[in-house]
Amino acid sequence: MKTQVGIIGAGPSGLLLSQLLHQEGIETVVLERRSRDYVLGRIRAGVLEQGFVNLMRKAGVGDRMDREGEVHKGFDIAHGNNRHRIDLEDLTGGDTVMVYGQTELTRDLYEARDRMGGIVIHDAEDVTPHGLETDTPFLTYRKGDDIETVTCDYIIGCDGFHGVSRKSIPKDRLTLYERVYPFGWLGVLSRTPPVSEELIYARHERGFALCSLRSRTLSRYYVQCPLGDTIEDWSDDRFWEELKSRLPDTVAETLVTGPSIEKSIAPLRSFVCEPMRWGRLFLAGDAAHIVPPTGAKGLNSAASDIYYLFHALLAQYRKDDPSGLDGYSDRALARIWKAQRFSWWMTNLLHRFPDRSGFDARMQETDLDYLFSSRSAMASLAENYVGLPF
Ligand code: APR
Ligand code: PHB
């Protein structure tokens, strides 16, 4: 098979790039290791920055998001029994975020790819990039007993943190930056009305908690949990009790509980790979960077990579101008590091660190105290939460 841009991974990054390029007449082939059902079964975050929302619309996949997604003009930070609203709209001069699940967004992208006849090959095993330092890179993959080849001009690694792309770059050409946090997030999805119309991030002596939502009837809640815990340790009853204990009384009293539809534990990690390019291979999204979920920057960081890559590839194909591709890594990383800083800061602000000193605890309290006493501090939080410009 021959195409212009070979994409590894059919998560939101790979699908969105393929959709944007196809609209401009640039051919792509997407190779995905898993089945479509598997990809669509993953429950991930659901807060979209304005830049991402605009990119979805540009890609012609914004209709259902605009109909069913919820515009959020603020969110709450609770600590103990106190609750403060961060008025995003007021603090940023009009910016908001969109609450729309990644699962829904991925479904919309798949449907758009189907409508345009986009090529997405599922259950592609042993996907391997070759000839990355030549002008004729190609991908191989296995389907059953057959080895298939896709030749292309560029290869884009959108295959997430555990993918093959980053690992194809010689180790001595990469610098990896990483912080692993000493706790995880236990998440529960339940068909219950959300406890609050807006998100509540809660700091508590027992640990962090988050009240989020997918719709008026579907709630998503999280509690910070020890690293070694498994979901077998957490019955629904135990989860609801723990969540309630970390929320202000007035919130806990109105929380509607119900059976969990999905329950999972995710570790928290900050990770950046530099550079994001090797020869004809370009990394995007989780393949190149991971943030802890506090602040919802994971999916949004992928969006800015895709925006830069799309414009860079367009300039290359339309005007024979390689400057966007040459500058991609530096440009993407400049924004990525800011999202990293914000996610790291918000994680530090709101979680209970098992090894914290008395000094650390005071610093955390003072950070919160300062935040709510200073409009500038809240404005800085709001500016980052709605998303820095692409
Ligand atoms: N070959 C082919 N496909 C692969 C391979 C491989 N070796 N390894 C992984 N994949 C696929 C995965 O099955 C997955 O569908 O690549 C896809 C990567 O998708 P995501 O992990 O969703 O990453 P990305 O598209 O960059 O999305 C950004 O933001 O909110 C965060 O982690 C969240 O998924 C989200 C991410
Ligand atoms: C979610 O709804 O899953 C969610 C929302 C906000 C976050 C993280 C996760 O910061």
The CB of 47 under 6 Å from ligand 2? The reply is yes
Burial class (CB in 10 A: 0-12, 13-18, 19+), 148: middle
* pLDDT greater than 90 at residue 134: yes
Tell me if 212 CB under 6 Å of ligand 2. yes
* Distance (Å) from CA 159 to ligand 2 centroid: 21
Same fold flag, 5-71+98-177+269-346 and 181-267+354-386: no
Of residues 149, 125, 152, the one with CA closest to residue 26? 152
Ligand that lies nearest to the alpha carbon of residue 10, given by its number in the listed order: 1
Question: Binning pLDDT at 50, 70 and 90, where does residue 142 land?
Answer: very high
Output the CA 326–ligand 2 centroid distance in Å.
Answer: 34
pLDDT on residue 25? 98
| Mean pLDDT of the residues in the chain | 97
138-143/146-151 β-pairing: antiparallel
| Percent of the chain predicted with pLDDT > 70 | 100
- Contact indicator for 184, 207 with CB cutoff of 8 Å: no
- pLDDT digits over 288-314, tens only? 999 999 999 999 999 999 999 999 999
Predicted confidence band of residue 77 (pLDDT cuts 50, 70, 90): very high
Give 322-366 pLDDT, tens digit per residue.
999 999 999 999 999 999 999 999 999 999 999 999 999 999 999
Does the domain made of 5-71+98-177+269-346 have the CATH classification 1.20.1260.10?
no
- Whole-number Cα distances in Å, 264 to 189, 224, 327: 9, 12, 38
DSSP label of 288: T
Name the residue at shortest CA distance from atom 36 of ligand 1: 299
Q: How far apart are CA 160 and CA 305, in angstroms?
A: 13
Query: Percent of the chain beyond pLDDT 90?
Result: 98
Would the CB of 76 count as within 6 Å of ligand 1? no
> Cβ(288)–Cβ(136) under 8 Å?
no
- CATH fold of 181-267+354-386: D-Amino Acid Oxidase; Chain A, domain 2 (3.30.9)
State the pLDDT at residue 108: 98
| pLDDT computed for residue 60 by the predictor | 97
Confidence (pLDDT) at 45: 85
- Residue ID of nearest Cα to ligand 2 atom 3: 45
* C-alpha of residue 264 to centroid of ligand 2, in Å: 14
Q: Render 361-383 in DSSP notation, one character per residue.
A: HHHHHHHHHHHHH-HHHHHHHHH
Nearest to 47 by CA among 267, 182, 266, 199: 199
Ligand 2 atom, smallest distance to 101 CA: 2
State if residue 91 touches ligand 2 by the CB under 6 angstroms criterion: no
- The whole-number pLDDT of residue 42 equals 86
Whether the model clears a pTM of 0.75, i.e. scores above it, the answer is: yes
Separation of CA 353 and ligand 1 centre (Å): 29
Asked if residues 339 and 291 have their Cβ atoms less than 8 Å apart, the reply is yes
127 Cβ inside 6 Å of ligand 1 = yes
Domain ranges for the chain:
5-71+98-177+269-346, 181-267+354-386
Residue 8, pLDDT score = 98
Kindly state if the Cβ of 101 falls inside 6 Å of ligand 2: no
* Residue 153 confidence class, pLDDT cut points 50, 70, 90: very high
Rounded CA gap, 260 and 218, in Å? 11
pLDDT tens digits for range 13-44: 999 999 999 999 999 999 999 999 999 988 88
Give the DSSP H or E segment for 89. helix 88-92
DSSP letter (8 states) at residue 257: P
Residue nearest atom 6 of ligand 2, based on CA coordinates: 296
Q: Which residues are catalytic?
A: 72, 201, 293, 297, 385
Ligand 1 center to 349 CA (angstroms): 28
